[in-house]
Every structure is written in structure tokens, then in C-alpha cells.
Structure 1
Amino acid sequence: MKLEFNLPGKLIAALLLAFVLGGCQVFTETQSRSEVMGTGDLGLIIERASGSVLVINTSRHEVLGRIDGLGDLSHASVVYSRDARYGYVFGRDGGLTKVDLLSQSVVDRVIQSGNSIGGAISQDGRYVAVSNYEPGGVKVFDSQTLELVAEIPATYTSGEGQVGQSKTVGLVDAPGNLFVFSLFEAGEIWILDMSDDSAEVTRFEAGESPYDALITPDGRYYIAGLFGEDGLSLLDLWNPAQGVTEILPGYGKGEQKLPVYKMPHLEGWAIADGRAFVPAVGHHQVLVADMNDWSLVDRIPVQGQPVFVMASPDNRQIWVSFAHPNNDVVQVIDSQTRDIVRTLEPGSAVLHMEFTPRGEEVWVSARDSNRVTVYNTRTLEPVATINAEKPSGIFFTSRAHALGL
């Protein structure tokens, strides 16, 4: 039996048009969904020689793109917005650049000084602060617009009565919308309060020539390393009225110091199992301090002068990188036994290490080998390599949700 349908021509045309448009709509929605990407497993790798950064996906071990035009990145660092979409890149030339990880583009860029050395983002994400060498001081910017909000010159009076402007180092964010930083020439630690419009500064005397600093993961202790003496300066931010106290005094007393080829980076201190693992300045040692009273409890001999001493997220491993001329290896220390369990060779001129948020992998940059090697932290074997042009700092977006990073 044959069925026949006699539909008007206009109705047939309308049905065909609806089918075509419907098909286009489905395609467009599918395409849009495929382009949507979260930022939780993204990060940036600094390419120091070319003034660029790579946008990478940590789960896929993949380079998503390159962002150029960021200036002098010979000593660069990155912090992230609260939503982990935007990275703020601090360049050595005083440049502060806001980049969009999703569009892989520069959002805004300002040259805010002649020479800068890193920065931080406030607890509430509203402010980005930059630490400067020339002229010495800290500048604070609106994180949305990069408009200048506050300028804090690091002025001080020397013992001879001369007024100077000090290099600022060790800038970190602290709870309460505070920024804390150290003054190299002045030998001081300052707290900058950005909880209101006053931008009030509180000053503390510290030891001789603080060169870098860190804040403990709970935001309580700010600790500055001292280049001018064997020891460190500690400020309890819960009880700042107590002032600065000295910890690990004289850890190198009676020992001959070696030439210091590269200053340790205290941001990479390892805090594990109630102990602090500290790079010793001018010694082939990692110092171990009891955080209950900050007494020195052990010295771990290592193969060179340590630069980064970093704990895995589970605190079971301590990864150590080194200064020239022994900077082609990384040593892994068991945090319980304090034994070196493996010496790895990621490439020539290892500069930086970064753990994935849950610690299953660590990414290690080797500048002169033009690559980043990814290691499995359980097997200590390489699982991937990423090509990069003179890579240095590696910064994952998980830093957006941690103090002091």
C-alpha cells in the first residue's frame, strides 16, 4: 500500500530550514563545549631568554601556547588571581604583566620600576604588590586594572646618619591583607597593612643583610635568611609586638664558608613533620630545625650548595637543587630517615622545581638543556619531557590558593 503526503511547498521549506538551523545550533554548542577549559591543572613556565611564558596543562603534559612580549625574565616569578585565570608575571626589568591563561594573551602591562625582584597578591585578591631594587621599595596595584594604589619607599637611616633607599626582598602575602618584606641594606622587616586605605607600615629591626624570606604555610612565622651572618630572623605575625628573634644562630661557626655562587631561595623551604629543612648559605648542607623551639637538630650533607629545598605535598620527600658548578643534579631526601635516596640528572643548569597540587609528580626545569622533565614522585622515574626555550621558573595555578606563593 503506497502512502502519499501532499505538503504545501512553504511548509516543506520551513521544515528544511528548521532542520538546518537546528543542526547548526547543535554543532555550535558542541564546539563551544569543547573549547571550555578550567584552569585548575594549568600553569606557566618562564622562558627567561626570550621574554615569554609557556601555558601548560599539567594533566596532559602539554604546551597549550606561548605568550610573548613580557620583557626581561632573567629573574621572574608569578602569582595568580583567585579564580586562577590570570597570572601576574614579575620581570627583572620592573615589568608587571597580567596574562590570561585561557586566551593565552597579555591583558595589561606596566613598567613600575627600574629593577624588581618578585611580588605577591593579597589574601582577598584585590592587590598585587611588587618588590623593587631600583628604586628600593614596594608598590601596590589594583589586580583588576593594574592602577597604582600605594607606593612605599624603603627609606632608612644608616649608622652614619645618611638617608638611603634599600632594596626590598622576601615579599610575601600574609593573613589580614598584609604584605611582609625585608630591607637588604637597612636590615629591617616591614609589615604593610592593606586591610584599609591607610597602607600603614610597621617596622622591625632584623639581622644583617636579609636576602630572602618565607612565610610558614599557616601564615604565622615570617623568616628571613641573613647574608651577613650565620643565622635567620623570625617574626611571629600572631605576636608581632614581641619583635624579631634570631634562630639557628651560628650554624656555620668554626667552619670555612665556600664562595656563594647563587643565593638560596627561601620560598622553597621544606616544612615537614614538625621540622624545617633549610638551605645553608655557603655550605654543602641542608639544615634541619625543630619548629617547636627552632633549634638545630641535624645537618644533612649534600653534593653542593643548595638553592631550593622543597617538600613534596605529603611531606615524605625533600627535593634539593644546587648552585653552580654542581647544578646539573637534584637530590631526593627521605624526610623521616634524612637519607639521600636518589640523585637525579634532569639536565644542564637546573633552576626550578614545582610539585603538582597532590604531589604525584614534580616538574624540573633545566635551562641549558632547553627542557622540563616531569618525574613520578613514587618511582622517581621521568614520565615526560617538555621542550622550552631556556626554562626557569615553573608556576602552577594551585598557587592561587596558598599563602606566601
Structure 2
Amino acid sequence: MTRLAALLMCSVLAAPALAQELRATGDLGVIVERATGSVLIVDQSERAAIGRVEGLGDLSHASLVFSPDERFAYLFGRDGGLSKIDILTQQVVGRVIQSGNSIGGAISDDGKLIAVANYEPGGVKIFDADTLEELAHIEADGKALGLEDAAGRKFVFSVWDTNETKIVDFSGAEPVVTTLSDIGANPYDALVTDDGRTYIAGLFGEDGLSAIDLWAEVPEVKRILPHYGRGQEEMPVYKMPHLEGWAKAGDQIVLPAVHHHEVLWVDARTLEETGRTAVHSQPVFAMARPGGRHVWVNFAHPENDTIQVIDTMTHEVIGEMVPGPAVLHMEFTSRGTEAWVSVRDENKVVIYDTTTLEPIGEIEVQSPSGIFFTARAHRLGL
């Protein structure tokens, strides 16, 4: 056998082994294990865990975003920790403690900047996505919440204490900050619609919500749903509802009501209320299945063992499941065929077929909360 033939034969024999070592990222996800400072790397097709990454600090209120190539997860911990995780090698490749108390973050639309919202010292810090070097501190006189990415290398966030929303533009040599005052009392969370046009902030201190048209040459605050909320009645709220970009279903925006046992339907163009659906208890997440046909809702303590499914055409509840105590989060596979549901108090994630609403799998996870699939890398507001 000639030397060339021998080399070719070696290449052929090595190819299958190499192929087994390679893994694409499009089928992967990350589940936060909130009590142990760790995350679980999962494979959607296998419906199984493939690794665990530990040493990530306080994850009692943690979220993450993905790099555009889906390889890196940027994890935001409650202790101010910003961790960069390689989900293929399952290693922490960067970590900084950037504040005393943080509450989530975002990645710019070009994937170059990581923004972190802070309670203490307040404001938002911006980091280089490659190195985690701090690039800027957008100061604010209070707690930063509702941090979202927007088109054109922009971030938008609100300030609980000063009732402001700030739009931060990083498209030029220096960041340009536009401050909109009187956003409403105590903005607590926000969403950006998937087209990047509308930022909606929920208000804890008064009735109604506030919306900003980010496409406008001069963005202004518009009050919407003025008769909805908690402000006129002091009512207990066991867990704040979350607003996110996934709550847009077709030409409707679906919002979990503060305290009230209902979800709200809003026309995405006019921002006028179009209906309400009575639900099991206080909703936390109202998440639209990809395609927008159904919305899945989970609930606050003490009635947090249940999920309901709502038809977006009729606004009626068409299904109800009881996965177990403390359902904290849900995530759909990219085309919406499955829903993964974290059940914290039974240390498991239950996987449902979204057509039959029947469970089709289960993964053991330590005190699971947030579930994040890499398809998020390609959507604004996530």
C-alpha cells in the first residue's frame, strides 16, 4: 500500500469517530438549578441531560441569553455574577462579579455587547461579549428593571425608583442615552415585541401599563389599559408576573394580570384591550406557543402546581395539566411541538406534547427554574 493510500484509509477510519465527537448547538438548552448554583445542559431530541456546570453563585433569580452562534450562554445571577458558559465544552470560560445585586440582562442584536440590569448600585453595566471587559456604566438613581435589547444596537430599561425609561444607543462611537420621564409608578418588568417596535412596561404602583414606539423618530410614552392593575386596590401579589417578547401571539399581545386571576388580550397595532380570560389563579408567565395558536400560563404560589392552555382565537381555556408543586417556568421547542416545564419542588422537568397535552418525557433536575433553548439566540427581546 502506498503512503497516500494509507493516509486516505486512516482518514476514512477516523471520520466516524470524529463525527461522534461533534455536536451541533441548535438542539441544546440550559436549565437553571436555582438552589445549587449550577445549570444543566440538555439535548432536546434525546430529551435528556448531557452535562452539568457548577460554581455559578446565587441563581435564585437567574436568567440567560445566547450568543448568535448558539455556543455561549451568558448567565445573570442574583449575586451580581455574570458568567459566560461554553455549552459544548460545558465549562465556564469567563465570570465577573459586576454588582451587589442584579436582576437579568440582554445581548445586543449584533451579539457584541452584554448588558446587565442592577439593583445595587443601580443602572446598567455593559460588557464586551468576548472578554467580559466592562465597557460602560449607564447610571440610574434606582433599581434597573425591564432590560430588553432592541434593534440597532440599543438597550431599553426602566427605573423602579424614578419612574423613568432609558433608551441606550450603542450604534455610534459613544453611547447616547435618551431618558423618558413619567413612565408610570414603579415599572417592574417589560417586553419588546418580536419586531422590535414596541416596548411595554408593567406598572406596580398604579393602574395601567406604558408603551413606547421605538420606531418613532422621537419616542414618547403612551399609557395603555388605564383601568387595569393593582394601583387602585391594595391587593396581595405573591409573585410578580413576567412580561417578555414571547407573549405576542399573531396580532395580539397577551399579558398576565397583576394579582387578578386573568390574562389580558391587547391588539398589537392599536394597543387597545380586546378581551380577558379568567384563569386558575394569579398568572406569572403567559407564553405563546411558536406560531401563536395557543398560550400556556403558569401561576403564583400557593396555587402553582397547574398549567392552563388558552386558544388565542376564542380566548378560552382548552386544557389544564398539573405537573406538580412549584411550576416555575416553561419553554417551547423551536417549532412548538413540545413544552418543557420545570417543577421545582419535585426536582424534575416534565416534557409535554403540545398537540395532545400529554407528558412524553421527564428529566431529573435539581430545583429547576428557568429553561432556555438556543433558538432564543435569533429573537429580539429574548
Measured against the shorter chain, the TM-score band is over 0.9
CA–CA separation in structure 1 for the residues paired with 2:220 and 2:7: 71
- Equivalent of 2:355, from 368, 378, 392? 378
In structure 2, do the counterparts of structure 1 residues 264 and 33 end up closer, same or farther at CA, with 3 Å as the change threshold?
Answer: same
Q: What's the counterpart of residue 213 of structure 1?
A: 190
- Equivalent of 1:343, from 320, 323, 326? 320
Name the amino acid aligned to 2:214.
Answer: L
Q: Trace 1:6-405 onto structure 2 (pairs within 5 A).
A: 25-154=11-140, 165-205=141-181, 206-239=183-216, 241-252=218-229, 258-267=235-244, 270-405=247-382
CA–CA separation in structure 2 for the residues paired with 1:251 and 1:108: 43
| Deviation for aligned residue 1:18 | 8.9
Deviating more after overlay: 15-24 vs 310-319: 15-24
Asked whether the equivalents of residues 128 and 143 of structure 1 are also in contact (C-alpha less than 8 Å), the reply is: yes
Unaligned runs of 5+ in 2: none
Residues matched between the structures, number: 381
SS in 1 for 2:376: helix
User: After superposition, what is the alpha-carbon deviation per residue over 1:344-372, rounded to whole angstroms, capped at 9, x for unaligned?
Assistant: 11111000000111000110101001000
Give me the identity figure in percent: 56
User: After superposition, what is the alpha-carbon deviation per residue over 1:105-148, rounded to whole angstroms, capped at 9, x for unaligned?
Assistant: 11110000001001000011110010000110101100000011
Asked whether the equivalents of residues 143 and 160 of structure 2 are also in contact (C-alpha less than 8 Å), the reply is: yes
TM-score when normalising by structure 2: 0.96
CA–CA separation in structure 2 for the residues paired with 1:28 and 1:106: 30
Unaligned runs of 5+ in 1: 1-14, 155-164
Q: What's the counterpart of residue 160 of structure 1?
A: none
SS in 2 for 1:250: coil
CA–CA separation in structure 2 for the residues paired with 1:55 and 1:345: 25
User: After superposition, what is the alpha-carbon deviation per residue over 1:140-174, rounded to whole angstroms, capped at 9, x for unaligned?
Assistant: 100000011111111xxxxxxxxxx2100011110
Structure with bigger gyration radius: 1
SS in 1 for 2:218: helix
Name the amino acid aligned to 1:137.
Answer: G
TM-score when normalising by structure 1: 0.90
Name the amino acid aligned to 1:87.
Answer: A
In structure 2, do the counterparts of structure 1 residues 253 and 129 end up closer, same or farther at CA, with 3 Å as the change threshold?
Answer: closer
| Deviation for aligned residue 1:276 | 1.5
| Deviation for aligned residue 1:60 | 1.3
| Deviation for aligned residue 1:277 | 1.4
